[in-house]
Amino acid sequence: MPNRRDSSGIDTESPDIDVACVTDGRALLPHRLAPNMPDTHPLEPLASEFLLSADRLEACPRDDVVEVAFAGRSNAGKSSTLNRLTGRRQLARVSKTPGRTQLINFFSVNEGGRLVDLPGYGYARAAKSRREAWGQAVDEYLNRRTNLVCLVLLMDARHPLKPYDRQMIDWCTGRSLPLLVLLNKADKLKRGERKTVLRSFETEVPPATRTLLFSAATGLGAAEAVAAVREHLSREHPGGL
């Protein structure tokens, strides 16, 4: 029986994954890379703690340490990815209902810097006033945070490059802000399809766009993603603080 899908094509009826994969911390480690991925980095999760939630720029913590933010359409798997990369099963809240993350959530990384879980964009069913409030908070965050050193852009590998995704890529390119694209839910693609999806994605984005096939559910690409995020977190504050 076909699954019911929302306007973005994301399955909203059946859970996308075996919940145990995401919610059981023991299932996260040891990390198992898919056979087609070179095991170049062992997965050392970015141990982190929840810091605070903000509904507007003024409520964000001081921008005195570098931040890597996770953006993407609602339901793309930003929160699940954060949990995967930090090795904490319930650090960020995951839900099969789009629009779960409604505030900007900050997590302090023990080895330095912060991870930031942004509310998703494109959740058509939220009330207009709420959408505008989230949109404004996210816009202000992206445009005014002086400590943002990398944007991790999550897309559903089955439906990448929706208009807002393209805008985000252009926005990063325009500012020379480092971008890491994670084509998430790759576990939902057949092995053969993965390469095709990646290749076709790469023909559509600027050549320097760093892109990984990824699965928050299985850990595919997680070691590479952790290594990339860790490298950005170790950078100097762009404002020279």
Min CB(209)–ligand GTP separation in Å: 20
CA dihedral 110, 84, 90, 161 (to 10 degrees): 110
**Residue 74: contacted member of Mg ion, ligand GTP, none (CB under 5 to 8 Å, by partner type):** ligand GTP
Closest residue to ligand GTP: CB criterion: 120
**Side-by-side strand order, sheet with 104-109:** 48-54, 104-109, 114-117, 67-72, 148-156, 179-184, 210-213
122 counts as binding ligand GTP under rule CB under 6 A: no
Nearer to ligand GTP, 97 or 200 (CB): 97
Angle, nearest 10°, between helix axes 222-233 and 78-86?
A: 80
Min CB(219)–ligand GTP separation in Å: 9
Q: For ligand GTP, what does the binding mask look like between residues 208 and 237, x meaning CB under 6 A?
A: -------xxx--------------------
Question: Could you report how far apart the first and last alpha carbons of the chain are, in Å?
Answer: 56
83 counts as binding Mg ion under rule CB under 5 A: no
Nearer to ligand GTP, 17 or 223 (CB): 17
Omega of the bond leading into 30 within 30 degrees of 0 (cis): yes
22 counts as binding ligand GTP under rule CB under 6 A: yes
* Count of residues that bind ligand GTP according to CB under 6 A: 28
Nearer to ligand GTP, 149 or 183 (CB): 183
Contacts of 5 (CB under 8 A, 6+ apart): 11, 12
CA 55 to mean position of chain CA atoms: 19
Nearer to Mg ion, 78 or 131 (CB): 78
Instruction: Find the DSSP H helices in the chain.
Output: 19-23, 25-28, 78-86, 128-144, 163-175, 191-204, 222-233
Coil, helix or strand for 64? coil
Which positions touch Mg ion (CB under 5 A)? 78-79, 100-101
Which positions touch ligand GTP (CB under 6 A)? 15-17, 22, 72, 74-80, 94-96, 98-101, 119-120, 184-185, 187-188, 215-217
